Structures are given as structure tokens and as C-alpha cells.
Structure 1
Amino acid sequence: MWKLPKQIEQLNQESIEQARMRHDQLTKPPGSLGMLEEIGIRLAGIQGATIPTAEPAAVVVMAGDHGVTEEGVSAFPSEVTVQMVLNFMAGGAAINVLARNAGADVHVVDIGVKADIPLEQVQAGNSGNRLWIEKVRYGTGNMAKEPAMTRDEAEQALSVGWKIGRELSVQGYKVIALGEMGIGNTTASAAIASVLTGKPVPEVVGAGTGLSTEGIRHKSEVIERAIATNAPDPQDPVDVLAKVGGLEIAGLTGLTLACAAHRVAVVVDGFIASAAAIAAVRIEPAVQPYLFASHKSVEPGHRILLEALDLQPLFDFSMRLGEGSGASLALPVLQGAARVLKEMATFAEAGVSDGVS
């Protein structure tokens, strides 16, 4: 089993209680901001500070290709992955727009793209985003016929994610949003979801990039074949990642664990990011309180993963894009929750009666 380089600590209970007491002193009826109060209080526990912050924030988009696309499980070819990485770097994708809206930086990681990223194009069109070249291998194997990767490669991907999480924490980021890019990665995520939750494959499989009903049926058959061929061990999440996962999913798993170990909050995006999150929680359950679910995807397996993670999504906009789009859209909510604790006046400060007789 892959071992954590640094242990994950429990949330700071003293900071949680102090933040809760401060909320009760602010100029509002106690509890009237609902989930926003709970988000701010949990941020306080994560950071060990009565008044937390959700800035600066970053979106980390892990990119990797999947050999299982040979089985016709996606409506798009794998060449789209490298093309979208260039789009991310040029600032033209949905994730760039939504990250700018939240004032968040974008970090793109080539952890397993099938082709080399043309750096001359990146340099010519870069809009200020950072590209990390951390390639473990050129895409995964076709999991319908063989393991997606070796255990060593899965552990390398976990270590890449860990390294990036550690470095971003050193740079002062307080919140990291999980993003991904990889044609075929809803197939890998559905396989992970089925193995780690015990749910039948058809219950966790959706349209992904836009498959027809027949395409979804075929996708389910491919996943069932992959699980039967590789026999991933549900008690060993690293084995699951190696046999039916993806490089970008394993990278996000390592990133999630590193953020929690360094007391950085993690905003989980949709189905693929949640597959990484459940792998992280199965590796180390102490990571769970550090996670915030941004939204509920239309992918059917996402609801199952959210229930398994015991996370309540902030919104449901019928999204299924990925990239970290939902997580980026949720960042202003966390920022607002933190700013309420910092900037809202208490009854005493405002000279307002608190209604206590």
C-alpha cells in the first residue's frame, strides 16, 4: 500500500468552536446563513484559524489519456486531450473563464497525455497559466484487455499529485479545486465507482461526452469486461487505480491527500474528481472533512459517489463538462463564507440589539 509522506490531522476543534461562537455574535439570527455558516466554520477547522480565508485559490487540471478509448467508449477521439491542454494554456476553455470569475489561478498538469505537449504553441499562446510536465507514461493501457497501468506507475501518479499539492501549499494557496481532462475518463471513473462502492456497473455509467443509449450499454459492457479481466481489489484503492483507473485520476487522488495533509481545503468537481476523492478517502479516511462537493453532475454515478463520500453538493446545474468547471463555480461560495466571518460586524460592533433578554 502506498504510504502517505505526511499524516493528515483532524480538524482543529478549538478553531471550529471559536468560529461558531463568532457566527453567533454577528448581526444576524443564529444559523440564518445556513450552509454558508457551516462552510466557514469548517474552513476555520481546516486552517486552524477563527477567521479563515479562501484566497488565494487555484484550479489544478490533471490531463491524461486512456487506452480504453480503443473500445469506442467516447464520442470524441483521444487527440482532443492535447488540443484541450493547449486551449487551457491559452485561456480559452470554460475552466479558464470560471477560474477568472473566481480570481483563481489555473495549473495544468500533463501526467499522462498520449502525445507530447507542443511547448512552442504553449509559449506562443500562454495567457499566464502554469503547465507542469509530470508525465508518468503516454496514456494508460486498454483496461478492457490489460491493467490500465502498473502499480508502480499508479504510485508515481499519486506522488506527482502529492508533490504538486505540497508545492501549492508552500506557495500559500488556501483552496484547491480539482479539475481533469482526458477522453475516456468517465469510463475509468465508472469502473472505480463500481469497484469501490460495490454498485453494479450499469448504475454508475452515464453518457460521458454524449453517448447514445446504445453507446452507454456498450460502455457498461466494456467496464464489466475490464473489471472481470483485471480483478481489482476493492480493499486496495491503489490496486483499483492501477488496474481500472487513470493517470489523471490517480494524480488527483495524490493531490487531494497532499492538500489535506497541509491543511488546504479541496473543492471536488464532478464525477471524475469524485472518483479520485473516494480513492483518497479509502486510502486515508481522515481526508474527508477537508472536502467540499461543488455540484451534482448529471452522470448517474456521481450521486452514488457523493453518498459514499458523505458530501452535500452546493448546487445542481445539470453540468457534466468536467475540467473543474463546477468546482471553480463553487469557489466564490467558499470565499463568501470566509469573508462573512472576517468582515461582518458583531452586534456589539454595530450597536445593534442582539435580541437576548
Structure 2
Amino acid sequence: MSVDGWNTVLVLGGIRSGKSEFAESLVADAPVVRYIATAPEGDPEDTEWATRLATHRARRPGSWTTEETADEPRRLADVLESAEPNETLLVDDLGGWVTVLLDPDHQPADDVATIAELAEAIRTCSARVVVVSPEVGLSLVPTTPLGRAFTDALGAANRAVADACDAVVLVVAGQPAWLKPTAALAAAPTVSASARSVPPTASQAAAQDASRTDTSRAGAGRAGTSLVDAEPTPEVQLPDVLTHTPPVAPNQEPGNPWAAPTMALPMVATGLVIQPGMELPMPDDYAGPQAVDRLATLDVPGAGLGVLDRVVGFAAATQGTSTPVAWGSVRVLLLNGDHAGGASAGTVAGESARRAAQARAGRGALARLAAESGASLQVVDTPVSAPMEAQPALSGDQVESALRYGWRLAEQAADAGVQLLVLGACGAGTEAAAAAVLAATAGAEPPAVLGRVITDSGEIDDAAWMVRCAAVRDALHRTRRSPRGAKDVLSELGGGDVAVATGVLLGATARRVPVLLDGPVGLAAGMVSRDLAGQARHWCLLADHGGHPAVRLAADVLGLTPLLDLRLDLGEGANALVALPLLRSVLALAAALPVHPSLATDTDADRADEPQTDPEYAEPDEAEAEPAYTGPDYTDPDFAEPEPAGPGPTRTETDEQPASGWRAG
């Protein structure tokens, strides 16, 4: 959930301000959340309080776990200190925590010292933490000693926690106002209502972080690596690092956190059901061929667009029009999840985390390419996969959660107006996991689809490659009698990143959002998705195979022909971003070029205002022109079908002469 480089967030708000719902939206993209409940159960006779607690519990997804700390206030600091870096904690709320702290059963106690311990635990916590607390500064001074003691203690706790957190937001009437850092807030662009909860961007926060060395050191310490690189500030505009996009769910029912109004899928009490044989939308069967045929009529010199006409056909089919436009809003989803065991042989420990932190901060190759392409970059943490040679990479419940998580990411992108998704990955062991998936789904030999291992110094590490091959071989042997269904393959071999990527493909298909694939993880997800929804592959475009054997094989099985052969090796997603400006240019060119003069008629818009100078031309009157539209057997050889006014094919019937006959020579 890390909010644009910040790892801890304090959410303040008054009574019924929507602060808890907003805090829950901040962690909605995390696969597993530990909910820390601080409030006591209260009087059993107080039905209104019991109803409030039940409402809170009903909003929590089934994948969340709940931990109670009401019995001992000091336990909250212990929970924060013992949290792991891959965990996400939601503490709700400090008001209940202070209430228990002041309870006579816990006195005498040093309240100031306990609050200081909590602030220090938040400051040094390695997990992602969202803390909810009531804002008491706008209320009247209580008239009772106990009330004044509560407001004093809660005010002190809020100040201490706000100082320890990387970001602070005040929720008023459901509207978030980011209080820290203020400089980044002032420079933040206006956002739509569907994304109004997104905090300042990474590029804006970088300027503030430069003058906030304490905050930078704290964030770097939690990530386990320094986020401050000794490199000059780039002149290009860095991308908006969307490491969190709040869910938009106007029509969701309580208890169905993964539902969305556009899904035509079976629902049960636990939410969205992702199962084999789902019926998802297909691209337009007619718009694609019509768009390609239309290219033959345009005023293009030479032989035309070559193989890039497939881009026009793909965009037309996915947009449902024969005159597609270039993709405007593009989002890159960078999946970060490691694979334990032999799959990650030859990789440097912590390297994938460093790459992910670099991308979150708007630095590194992928972030700079995204900046050049005007694409936003969202870093997505996926579940860590167990050693597949010894045990299942994920449990069945984790697979279900990861699939829904990926679907949710696609839903959020569609709600934010994203027109194209780019899928990439940066986890350790992803290539071996993809090779195992291909071996299980396509009958491939692991050594034939497992790419060579390249060290940081650029050397080929054959020993590490053999360890990876052995890990895939042992995993296939362990699962030789296991079912080969989609979820079985994800659980036994694919792991977290492949499972989340599969959910992204399915969710994007459901919302008619095309996906630009690049790298083994996306292609492995495409192979798995065939069993769940065969329509998903038709919404995928492969810009480049990157010279990777697994990508080549999976593309061949899925029927995806790479457009380019760049052979870049900058990580998953880089090839797609390098190709993106070219693909956009082709779409813009195809949409803007006029019809070739030899095929144009006098009804064309570009000739409507020109005087007619052809001496052989005579404007037919209405009586002469009428049979051209009403008589199907009209065969006057001098008649020419008028050009349609709107987008579409230039001819409605076949003719002996091809539409592109002017280029036949």
C-alpha cells in the first residue's frame, strides 16, 4: 500500500467523518491485511455500540485477519515492532486505545511513556501501517476531569504519531485533505472524483523529501535499502507513481468487496467467484478487419504501415470502432513478488525490493521510460511464493485472494479511465516460475524455455541456470499426479506474481481494457487464463518477445505475434514502454490521414468546399440518383458509391477492383 514512497499514514477525522472507510480504502490493494482492533467490547447491554462494531467487522474482506489489543495497551507497540516488511497493518483506532490506556484497571501507568513507545514503534516499523484516530482539536473542552484527561492524552498521542508517520490525512465529510507533506500537497494536480484519494505523486514528493532528510532516512530504513541515489535530477518529467489507487465502489454490497457493477459473474456470500469457463467479453469481430481495410484507402505513400497494421486492427477491435484513437491514459503494473528456493538461484538478495523501491520513488529504467511515454507506474506487491520444488508455491486461499487482488487492480484502473494496461514484473525467480507454468500447461521442456542467468557483471551463470532447471524439474516431479487446472497450476507452480497477473488479465477483459504484455510473467498468466476465460488472450498485445524462450513459446501457443524484435534486456515492461510511443504514433497517423484522392468522392469532407472543375462531371439530380440507393439491381457502370459520412468501411459491397488498387503497381 505504500503511498508514493511513504510507508506509514495517520488518518484523522471526526465522528462519522468517513475516516475508517478511507483508511480501509488505502489498504484495499493489499492481498492480506492484519486489522488491529483497539476498542474494548463495551457494555453487553449497549446494543448501539455492538451494532457499530458489527458494521466495522462486516466491511472487512475475508482475507483480513483481526487481532485484539484492548486487553493491554502496550501490546500495540509490540505488534508493530514484530511486524514483517511484507505485512500491512490497519490500526483502528487510537481513540479506543487511549480509552483503554486511561482505564483504572491499567493504572497506575506512565501514559506519556506509553505514547512515546507507540510513536517509536511506528517510526521503526518495517511493515506498512495505517493508523486511524479521532481528531479532538475542534471540539469543546470537556467539563469533566475524565473527559479532559481523555482529550489531553489523545491529543498528545495524535501529535506523537503524526510526527512519526510519513503522511497524515484529515478526513472531513468523507473528503481527504493531506496535511503532510504540505509542499507536495500544494503542488498536487487536480484529480477526478474516482481517484480523489490518491496522495501527492512521487515526483512532487521528491522535492519535499530532499529537504526532509529524517523522513527519507526513515522510509529508506523500512525498505531495507537507501532510496537516495547519487544521480543528478533528470530533466524529463518523472511519472506519477501510483502505488495506491483507492477503490471506487458506488454499487458494491457489504461483504462483496471484490464485486463491481459491470461484472456478469456468479456471486456468493464471500464475493466474486473466479472459476473455469467464465464468459467474458470479446473484442469487436468487425471493427478490426474494417480498420485494416480502411488503411488501404488512406493517402499513405509506399506500401503502408507494414506489420504495424495489426496494431490498428487490435485497437479497433478493443475500442469497437474502425477508426481507433491512440491510447491516452496508460498504466504500468509492476508486480513485485519473490520466489523462494532454487527458482531464484543467481539473484542478489534484496535486489527485487530495491528495484521496486526505485520505481516507487520515480527512478530507474522503468520509471524513466514511463515518464517519456506519459504513463503512470503502479508498483504492486504480490505474495511471496514458497519453494515450488518442496511444497506448493501458494495455498488455495492465497490463490483465490491473489486472483481477486489482480482483478481489483484492473477494476481500479478502468474506473480511473485507464485505456491500456502494461504488465511487468521484477521479482526474483519469476522466469523459473513461468517456465514451470509453461511446462505444466504446454508440455514444454524446462531447459528449452528457461532463459540464461546473467549476473550483475554481465556474465552468464551456468551453475545458477542448472539450479533453476533442477528446481523446475523437481517441482514437476512432485506434482506429476496433481490436477492441471488453472488454480492448481497457480498454487503448485505459478506463485503470487503469476496469480495476480492472471487476475489482472481477467479483470481487464471484464472491463474491456486491452493489456500490453512484456515478459514471462504476463505470458504465463495468459497461459493459465485460458482455462478460466478463453477470451482474455484476445485482449492482449505482445510488443516484443525480448529474445526470451518462454515468451516465444507462450506467444506461439496463445496466437500472439510479436510486433517488434528489440531484444532489450531492461526488465519486464521496458520493451513495451519503448514500443508504446511507436504504437501511439501509428494509431494517430491512421486516424488523421485522409482518403487517397484517387478513391475520394465529391462527398468527402476534404473536397466539400472545393469548386468542381472536371468538365466531364455533371451533378446528378435527385431523380437520377435515387436508383443508386433503392435498387439493389442497379448496374450503371458510371455510378460510384458515395463515401459514408461517418467512420466505417468505404464500400458496402465487394467489387471486381480492390479498394487499394491504386497501389497495385
TM-score tier (shorter): 0.7 to 0.9
Task: Please state if 1:273 is matched with 2:546.
Answer: no
Cα separation, partners in 2 of 1:196 and 1:338, compared to 1, 3 Å: same
How far apart in 2 are the matches of 1:152 and 1:297? 34
Q: TM-score, normalised by structure 2?
A: 0.46
1:20 CA drift (Å): 3.2
**Sequence identity (%):** 26
Q: Deviation string for 1:304-334 (max 9, x for gaps)?
A: 1121121111222223443311121222233
Q: What residue number does 1:341 align with?
A: 590
Aligned pairs for 1:1-357 (under 5 A) are: 2-3=274-275, 7-28=279-300, 32-53=304-325, 54-68=327-341, 71=342, 73-112=344-383, 139-210=384-455, 212-231=461-480, 233=482, 235-347=484-596, 348=600
How far apart in 2 are the matches of 1:30 and 1:350? 22
How far apart in 2 are the matches of 1:18 and 1:298? 32
1:338 CA drift (Å): 2.0
1:231 CA drift (Å): 3.6
SS in 2 for 1:176: strand
How far apart in 1 are the matches of 2:300 and 2:278? 40
How far apart in 1 are the matches of 2:419 and 2:343? 40
Amino acid at match of 1:220: C
Whether the 8 Å CA contact 1:196–1:234 is kept in 2: the answer is: no
SS in 2 for 1:52: coil
1:283 CA drift (Å): 2.4
Amino acid at match of 2:420: V
How far apart in 1 are the matches of 2:422 and 2:435? 21
Q: Deviation string for 1:152-200 (max 9, x for gaps)?
A: 2112111111011011112111111101121111111111111111011
1:239 CA drift (Å): 0.8
1:72 CA drift (Å): 7.2
Amino acid at match of 1:75: G
Cα separation, partners in 2 of 1:108 and 1:207, compared to 1, 3 Å: same
How far apart in 2 are the matches of 1:193 and 1:109? 23
1:30 CA drift (Å): 9.3
Q: TM-score, normalised by structure 1?
A: 0.84
Cα separation, partners in 2 of 1:8 and 1:31, compared to 1, 3 Å: farther
Q: Deviation string for 1:242-300 (max 9, x for gaps)?
A: 11112111111111121122111111102222112221234222122211112122332
How far apart in 2 are the matches of 1:234 and 1:337? 44
1:143 CA drift (Å): 1.1
Cα separation, partners in 2 of 1:235 and 1:337, compared to 1, 3 Å: farther
Cα separation, partners in 2 of 1:224 and 1:195, compared to 1, 3 Å: same
Q: Deviation string for 1:46-88 (max 9, x for gaps)?
A: 11123223221111111112122xx374322342222221100
More helix by share: 1
How far apart in 2 are the matches of 1:248 and 1:232? 24
SS in 2 for 1:106: strand
1:350 CA drift (Å): 5.7
SS in 2 for 1:256: helix
Greater relative contact order: 1 or 2 (C-alpha under 8 angstroms, separation 6 or more)? 1
Structure 2: segments with no counterpart, 5+ residues: 1-272, 608-659
1:207 CA drift (Å): 1.9
Cα separation, partners in 2 of 1:166 and 1:31, compared to 1, 3 Å: farther
How far apart in 2 are the matches of 1:110 and 1:261? 23
Cα separation, partners in 2 of 1:312 and 1:66, compared to 1, 3 Å: same
How far apart in 1 are the matches of 2:561 and 2:419? 21
Cα separation, partners in 2 of 1:72 and 1:65, compared to 1, 3 Å: closer
How far apart in 2 are the matches of 1:95 and 1:200? 31
Where has structure 1 moved over 6 Å in runs of 4 or more? none
Amino acid at match of 1:97: R
Amino acid at match of 1:322: G
Bigger-Rg structure (1/2):
2
Cα separation, partners in 2 of 1:106 and 1:339, compared to 1, 3 Å: same
Q: What residue number does 1:135 align with?
A: none
Structure 1: segments with no counterpart, 5+ residues: 113-138
Whether the 8 Å CA contact 1:59–1:177 is kept in 2: the answer is: yes
Cα separation, partners in 2 of 1:84 and 1:232, compared to 1, 3 Å: farther
SS in 1 for 2:422: strand
1:45 CA drift (Å): 1.0
Amino acid at match of 2:318: I
